[in-house]
Chains A and B, each alone.
Chain A
Amino acid sequence: MADESELRPGEMDDALAAEYVLGVLPHDERALIEKRIGSDAAFAARVATWQAHFSAFDPDYAEVSPPAAVFDRIERRLFGAPAPARTAFSLWGSLAFWRGLAAASLAASLFIFFRPDGAIFQSQAPVLVAELAATTGHMGLVASYDPADGEMRIVPIAAASDNPKSLEVWLIAEDGRPQSIGLVDTADKGLIRISDPMRQRIHQGVSFAVSLEPQGGSPTGQPTGPVLASGTLRSL
């Protein structure tokens, strides 16, 4: 921009912060600024200051009651609800089903579905389910496992992680020793491919745990970060 040369660096940042808060910038520039807010505390403070100034205009927004159905949809998306019968297996449909089932234990946050018959497109309900209760916070994860091809899918529901960490899933063997099953890969819809030797060990009664690890997984082969959730696989 022609005027940038006449602005001092502080002014430049302040103008940018104000422009961001006003919302006048194009999409790509907004995205860059959002990144900067996450990494540059001084800049984030400028944004917060403008936010506080301009919030004086908030009363200009008239209050309009939204239709009641909107909140139903929000709740269904966040917490799930009894899903309508469906012919094909859908993880998200099942999520609603299982969360409905576990309505009494809302704090529970990680479910693992087992389909030992591998008939992922025929069966409506998994035969085995592990419910992993979070020990901290309300991290939300749902996992499905198809023994036929050894694929486990873990999908974060409400995991708001703004720092680069990995979630690592552990199988706790009978001797209490954790063995890594893999990392929760959010980019790949939570797919974890279970190795053949490990598949033999996944059966009713074994426990799972999820720990927070440095990005890329535990450097030691054992959990190094806090255990976020753990639970035992059981028959329904």
Chain B
Amino acid sequence: MPHSKTFHAPTDPDAILRRSTSIDTAIMIAARKDCALIEDEVAGLISRVALGDRLAFARLYTHTSPKLFGVCLRILRDRTDAEEALQEIYIRVWQRAKSFGRAAGTANSWLVTIARNHAIDLIRARKRPTEDIDDRTDIADESVPNPETAMAWKDEGRRIDECMGRLPSAQSRAVKQAYVEGLSYVELAELFSVPLSTIRMWLRRGLLKLRECMESHG
């Protein structure tokens, strides 16, 4: 069996998916010159972690924990909670490193996915009181990414940016804010002054439009 992601039979839908993400990877490497570790290096470290290499784990942590800590802080809005979540996340990274090879997607997005899923599970389980919603938007407005980093990543997100641009601005803002800040439907309903009973329908319509656009560009 060939073990490179790109050499599977083209009829295998997984292989097609993987191949398209490896193209994304190449674009991202080209776009992220400012980043300390390129995508391939992170992927290499994760593979070594899968073999139980503690040094690789420490190096992976050094280079990727600021990003994942940023994810925890943004979604959890609490430093202590974010520190605890980060511990749990890297324990999962250690435990799940073996499944990385099977996962479609890039190494960095694999890590961010583990972090986001854990942070979102925590806040959903926590059932944040609704009065916090105002605070959350205030903090969100402050934490605008630095323009240089945003530029460096621009190519990678060009296609989705274009498709997001075709959505009504409130819908694209809802999609992006939900992803980045981990907002729930309840929070989105309040934030966008849409009744909870219709927010899901409204967002889904946006998501399906987004899908249609992404597919037509694929």
Q: Which residues of A contact B (CB under 8 A)?
A: 1-3, 7, 11, 14-15, 18-19, 21-27, 30, 45, 48-49, 51-67, 70-71, 73-75, 77-79, 106-107, 137-138, 158, 160
**What's the Cα separation between A75 and B32 when bound, in Å?**
30
Does B17 contact A23, Cβ atoms closer than 8 Å? no
Q: Which 5 A-B pairs have the closest CB atoms?
A: A56-B157, A59-B153, A55-B109, A63-B66, A27-B124
B210 CB, min distance to chain A CBs, angstroms: 8
Expressed in whole angstroms, the Cα–Cα distance for A58 and B109 within the complex equals 8
Instruction: List B contacts of A27 (CB < 8 A).
Output: 121, 124-125, 127
Chain B stretch 94-148: residues in CB contact (< 8 A) with chain A: 94-96, 98-99, 103-106, 108-109, 112-113, 116-117, 120-121, 124-125, 127, 143, 145-146
Task: Name the residue of chain A whose CB is nearest to the CB of B24.
Answer: A52
Q: A21-B179, A24-B183 are in contact. Are A51 and B105 (CB under 8 A)?
A: yes
Give the CA-CA distance A107 to B54 in the complex, in Å.
11
Chain A residues, Cβ within 8 Å of B205: 3
B residues whose Cβ falls under 8 Å from a Cβ of A:
13-14, 17, 20-21, 24, 51-52, 54, 58, 61, 65-67, 69-71, 73-74, 82-83, 86-87, 90-91, 94-96, 98-99, 103-106, 108-109, 112-113, 116-117, 120-121, 124-125, 127, 143, 145-146, 149-150, 152-153, 156-157, 159-161, 175-176, 178-180, 182-185, 188, 197, 200-201, 203-205, 207-208, 210-211, 214
Query: Quick check: B67 and A61 within 8 Å, CB to CB?
Result: yes
A56 with B161: CB separation less than 8 A: yes
B54 close to A79 (CB less than 8 A): yes
State the CA gap A79–B109 with chains docked (Å): 26
Question: For residue A63, which residue of chain B has the nearest CB?
Answer: B66
Q: Which of B66, B125, B208 contacts A66 (CB 8 A)?
A: B66
Contact call B179/A59, Cβ cutoff below 8 A = no
In the complex, which of the residues B54, B175, B204 contacts A15, with contact meaning CB atoms closer than 8 Å?
B204
Q: Which residues of A contact B146 (CB under 8 A)?
A: 62
Asked if residues A52 and B66 are in contact (CB atoms below 8 Å), the reply is no
Q: Is the CB of A64 within 8 A of B69?
A: yes
**Do residues A54 and B179 form an inter-chain contact, with CB atoms below 8 A?**
yes
Q: Which residues of A contact B20 (CB under 8 A)?
A: 52
Question: Are the C-beta atoms of A74 and B98 separated by less than 8 Å?
Answer: no
Given pairs A14-B211, A55-B108, A106-B52, 13 additional interface contacts (CB within 8 A): A7-B204, A7-B208, A22-B179, A45-B104, A52-B105, A53-B160, A59-B157, A60-B145, A61-B67, A61-B145, A61-B180, A70-B69, A78-B94
Q: Which residues of B contact A107 (CB under 8 A)?
A: 52
Write the chain B residue with the least CB distance to A138: B52
A59 engages B160 (CB within 8 Å): no
Q: Roughly how many angstroms separate A23 CA and B205 CA in the complex, as a whole number? A: 16
Q: How far is the CA of A79 from the CA of B207 in the complex (A)?
A: 43
Residues of B within 8 A of A26 (CB): 124, 184-185
Q: How long is the Cα–Cα vector from A67 to B185 in the complex, in angstroms?
A: 32
In the complex, how many angstroms separate the beta carbon of A228 from the nearest chain B beta carbon?
Answer: 14
Q: Quick one: closest A residue to B82, CB to CB?
A: A66
Residue of A nearest to B180 (CB): A60
Let me know if B182 and A61 touch, CB within 8 A. Answer: no
CA distance A21 to B211 in the complex (A): 13
In the complex, A61→B152 CA distance in Å? 14
In the complex the two chains form, what is the Cα distance from A19 to B183 in whole Å?
Answer: 11
For residue A157, which residue of chain B has the nearest CB? B95
The residue on B at minimum CB distance from A28 is B124
Instruction: Decide: A65 and B185 in contact? CB cutoff 8 A.
Output: no
Complex Cα spacing A14 to B61, Å: 33
**10 A-B interface contacts by CB (under 8 A):** A15-B208, A19-B207, A30-B121, A48-B103, A56-B156, A59-B150, A59-B157, A64-B70, A64-B73, A74-B90
Query: Nearest chain B CB to A157's CB is how many angstroms away?
Result: 9
In the complex, the chain A residue whose C-beta lies closest to that of B214 is A53
Chain A residues near B145 (CB, 8 Å)?
59-62
